[in-house]
A and B are shown apart, each in its own frame.
Chain A
Amino acid sequence: MKILVPVKRVIDYNVKVRVKADQTGVDLANVKMALNPFCEIAVEEAVRLKEAGNASEVVVVSIGTTAVQEQLRTALALGADRALHIETDQHLDSLQVAKLLAKVVAQEQPGLVILGKQAIDSDNNQTGQMLAALTGMGQGTFASKVQLADGKVLVTREIDGGLQTVALTLPAVVSTDLRLNEPRYASLPNIMKAKKKPLDVIAADSFGVTLSSNVTVLKVAAPASRQGGIKVESVAELVDKLKHEAKVI
C-alpha cells in the first residue's frame, strides 16, 4: 500500500511573527521557514507504518514555489521515498489545495493519505477534511493513534470530551494531532541520501483546477496587545487584588 503525505512549508514555530506595517500580511522576509510541525508528524507516522511492513511506499507532496523543495527534502530525509512538487507562485486557500491534492490522489491511488490537522500559519484546519470530501473518502481527523487492520484503518481521535475511535474503509484520510508520535531527527547520512531521491515537479495549472479563491484578505493587523500587570509579593496580596481590584472572585 502506498501512503501519500501532503506537507506545507511554514514559518518556524519558534519565530515571533510580525505584521507588516501596511497591514497586507505577515513579514516573512528573512524569516526561518520549516516543515509544519503537524506535517512532520504525518511523515513520521507514514514512515513508521512502512517500517512496520504496513506500507510499501511513502510519497510526499507539497504545493508552492521552488522553496517548498527544501521541506520535501526534509521529508525525504525523514524516510519518505519520493516527492512531488506542485509548482505555483499563487497563494492558495485550503479548498484549492484540496482540489489539487484530489487530482494527485487520482493519479497516485494511495491506500491512505496522512496529513497534518492544521498549518500553524493560516491555522485553518480544513485541508484533510476537504480532500476527504472531494475524493469521497472517510476521514479520521486529529489522530492520536492509527492502526491498520483488515482493509480498514482504526483512528483514535482527540475530541473535546476525550478520545473517540472510528474505523474507516480504505482508502481514507487521516489528519494528525500532536501526540500521534514524536518525529525522529534526520541523520546526516539520511540527509545526504535524500538529495538523491526522486523529486518530480509538476505545474499546478496543468491539473485544470481553478486556483483562485472567493475569499479576499482585506487586512492583517497585530492583535490588541495586553499590558503586563504587576507583580504581587504574597498570596495574601494576590487574593486581595483579585477580590477588591479585579473583582473576579
Chain B
Amino acid sequence: MAILIIAEHNNLSLKSETHKVVQAAAAIGGDITLLVAGFNCKAAADEAATVAGVSKVLLADNAVYQHQLAENIAALVTEVGKDFSHILAPATTSGKNFLPRVAAMLDVAQISDVIAIESADTFVRPIYAGNAIATVQSSDRIKVLTVRPAAFRAASDGNSAPIEAVSAAHDAGVSAFIDEELTKSERPELSAARVVISGGRGMQNGENFALLNGIADKLGAAIGASRAAVDAGFVPNDMQVGQTGKIVAPDLYIAVGISGAIQHLAGMKDSKVIVAINKDAEAPIFQIADYGLVADLFSVLPELEQQL
C-alpha cells in the first residue's frame, strides 16, 4: 500500500489537520508520502518532514499553487498520485474543494468525511447529518478519501523524512485568485481547540458575543456559533459549527443560547463533555448535554466568567 496525503498548510506552517490525516493513514497501513503544494512553502514542508510515520515529503513549490486553486492542485495531485493506492486529504474546505476533482480525473469515487478506517478498502462515514453511519467498501484501483480531522488523534512529531522537489507546474488557466478576507483571531482554531464555547440566536446580537470572550480567555477556548447566529450577522461564517460548518470534537463544548437543531448537533455531538445553557428547559440541546443549566444566559455568563 502506498498512501499519498495532501498536506494542509498556509505556505508558512503546517495545519494540525494534516497530523490527523497521517494518523488515519497509519490505520490503513503502508508507506506514507506527504505532498506539500504551495508557493514559498519550504517551511511547511520542513514541518511536514517531522510528522511521525511519514516516509517522504514531496514539495511542489510554485506560484500556481499559492492559493490552493482547485483546478491547479487537482491537476498536480492527479499526476503525482496516479500510482498510489490511496489519496487522502483532510475534510476541510480546501480538501473538499480539490479532492473530488482529483477523483473524477482519475475516474474513481471519492469517499467523503471518513471517521474510521475498517481496513484498506473499507471505511466508515456519517450520512444524513450524522444521524446514520455508513460502512462502505471500495473496489476502485485508487481509494480517494477526505478524512474528518475531528475523528482522529494527531500523529506525533519527531521524524525527519527526506524532502523531494516536484517540478510540475500545472496552471489550468480557468481560475484566478482575487482576494481573501481571513478572520484574525488570537484564539485557538475551532477545529483544534480543546474547549469550544458557542453562541446561538439567544445571544441576540454581535456585541453580546463579547460575553463569551472572558470565558474563552480563561479556558483557552475557541468561540463558535450556530448557523442562526451567523445568518443573523452576529459573527462571521467561519465560526459556524454544524453539518455545513465546522465539525468539532473538543474535550468540552459549551452551547449558549443554542436550541440544538440536528444540523448543529452534527457538528459537535462527538465532543467529550457537552454543557448547555438555555432558558428553555425543553430545548433539544439538553437531550445530549452532560450538564444542562436552565437559565438566562445574560445573568449566568458573567457569573461563569467570574467563577472560573
Partners in one complex: yes
Q: Are A230 and B291 in contact (CB under 8 A)?
A: yes
Q: Are B307 and A17 in contact (CB under 8 A)?
A: no
Q: Are A94 and B110 in contact (CB under 8 A)?
A: yes
* Complex-state Cα separation, A229 to B253, whole angstroms: 14
- Asked if A126 meets B252 with Cβ closer than 8 Å, knowing A167-B178, A169-B174, the reply is no
| Chain B residues numbered 187-233 whose CB sits less than 8 Å from any CB in chain A | 191, 195, 219, 227, 230-231
Q: Are B238 and A164 in contact (CB under 8 A)?
A: no
For A213, the chain B residues whose CB sits under 8 A away are 109
For A122, the chain B residues whose CB sits under 8 A away are 127
| Chain B residues numbered 159-197 whose CB sits less than 8 Å from any CB in chain A | 172-183, 191, 195
Determine if B43 is an interface residue (Cβ-Cβ < 8 Å): no
- CB of A30, distance to nearest CB on chain B (Å): 17
Q: Are A179 and B126 in contact (CB under 8 A)?
A: no
| Chain A residues numbered 100-147 whose CB sits less than 8 Å from any CB in chain B | 117-118, 120-134, 136-142, 144
Q: Are B133 and A223 in contact (CB under 8 A)?
A: yes
Q: Are B244 and A129 in contact (CB under 8 A)?
A: no
In the complex formed, the residue of B with least CB distance to A222 is: B132
Determine if A166 is an interface residue (Cβ-Cβ < 8 Å): yes
- CB of A118, distance to nearest CB on chain B (Å): 7
Q: State the majority secondary structure of interface residues on B.
A: mixed
Determine if B264 is an interface residue (Cβ-Cβ < 8 Å): no
Contact of B104 among A125, A130, A231 (CB under 8 A): A130
In the complex formed, the residue of B with least CB distance to A161 is: B182
For A232, the chain B residues whose CB sits under 8 A away are 291-293
Determine if B258 is an interface residue (Cβ-Cβ < 8 Å): no
* Complex-state Cα separation, A118 to B139, whole angstroms: 24
* Complex-state Cα separation, A242 to B194, whole angstroms: 14
- CB of A181, distance to nearest CB on chain B (Å): 12
In the complex formed, the residue of B with least CB distance to A169 is: B174
Q: Are A249 and B291 in contact (CB under 8 A)?
A: no
Interface residues on A, range: 35 or more
Q: State the majority secondary structure of interface residues on A.
A: mixed
Determine if A241 is an interface residue (Cβ-Cβ < 8 Å): yes
- CB of A178, distance to nearest CB on chain B (Å): 6
How many B residues, CB 8 Å from partner? 89
Determine if B29 is an interface residue (Cβ-Cβ < 8 Å): no
Determine if A33 is an interface residue (Cβ-Cβ < 8 Å): no
For A163, the chain B residues whose CB sits under 8 A away are 180-181, 237
* Complex-state Cα separation, A245 to B99, whole angstroms: 42
* Complex-state Cα separation, A118 to B236, whole angstroms: 21
Q: Are B137 and A162 in contact (CB under 8 A)?
A: no
- Asked if A229 meets B128 with Cβ closer than 8 Å, knowing A130-B103, A222-B133, the reply is no
Q: Are B101 and A130 in contact (CB under 8 A)?
A: yes
- Asked if A215 meets B140 with Cβ closer than 8 Å, knowing A159-B93, A222-B132, the reply is yes
For B71, the chain A residues whose CB sits under 8 A away are 132, 138-139
- Asked if A160 meets B230 with Cβ closer than 8 Å, knowing A98-B104, A229-B290, the reply is no
For B97, the chain A residues whose CB sits under 8 A away are 129, 139, 141-142
For B98, the chain A residues whose CB sits under 8 A away are 129
Determine if A203 is an interface residue (Cβ-Cβ < 8 Å): no
Contact of B180 among A154, A162, A221, A230 (CB under 8 A): A162
For A167, the chain B residues whose CB sits under 8 A away are 175-176, 178
* Complex-state Cα separation, A123 to B269, whole angstroms: 17
Determine if B62 is an interface residue (Cβ-Cβ < 8 Å): no
In the complex formed, the residue of A with least CB distance to B286 is: A228
Q: Are A123 and B109 in contact (CB under 8 A)?
A: no
Determine if B13 is an interface residue (Cβ-Cβ < 8 Å): no
Contact of B126 among A123, A130, A134, A246 (CB under 8 A): A123
- CB of B291, distance to nearest CB on chain A (Å): 5
Determine if A239 is an interface residue (Cβ-Cβ < 8 Å): yes
Determine if A45 is an interface residue (Cβ-Cβ < 8 Å): no
Q: Are A216 and B136 in contact (CB under 8 A)?
A: yes
- CB of A134, distance to nearest CB on chain B (Å): 5
In the complex formed, the residue of B with least CB distance to A178 is: B244
* Complex-state Cα separation, A249 to B128, whole angstroms: 33
* Complex-state Cα separation, A16 to B128, whole angstroms: 9
Contacts A215-B136, A216-B137 supplied; 14 other A-B pairs, CB < 8 Å: A98-B104, A123-B126, A133-B105, A139-B97, A160-B191, A161-B238, A177-B237, A214-B138, A215-B139, A228-B287, A229-B274, A229-B290, A236-B307, A248-B195
Return the 5 tightest CB-CB contacts between A and B, nearest first.
Answer: A229-B290, A138-B174, A129-B100, A130-B104, A133-B104
